[in-house]
Amino acid sequence: MRYMRSSDTQETTWRRTVIPVLAAIGLGASLVLGIVNFNLLTGGSQTLSNALLVVIGGIFVAGVLTAAALKRLQPSVYQRIGRQ
């Protein structure tokens, strides 16, 4: 949304703001429903579902911490992430 607002495009407010906000709300609702009903998605027990959620969350946190460390310790490597 920030890109669409800052660039000099001829897009309407509907396409620049309203549609992205509705998409973000829909994605957020899907995420919440997926987490709340994760045991139905996995088909396993609640314990297995909780363990998988912890693993997923741990991988996310590890990625964020790795990116922060790269940004601080090796900025040139951090800048190349996603550009290869």
Q: Are 46 and 39 in contact (CB under 8 A)?
A: yes
Q: Where are the alpha helices (DSSP H) in the chain?
A: 2-6, 13, 19-36, 38-42, 46-73, 75-80
Confidence of residue 68 (pLDDT cuts 50, 70, 90): very high
The model's pLDDT over 3-58, given as tens digits with 9 standing for 90+, comes to 666 666 677 888 888 998 999 999 999 999 999 999 999 998 999 999 999 999 99
For the entire predicted model, the pTM comes to 0.68
Question: Any idea where the domains of the chain sit in the sequence?
Answer: 1-36, 43-84
The pLDDT value recorded for residue 62 is 98
The pLDDT value recorded for residue 42 is 92
The pLDDT value recorded for residue 7 is 64
Average pLDDT, stretch 69-77? Answer: 95
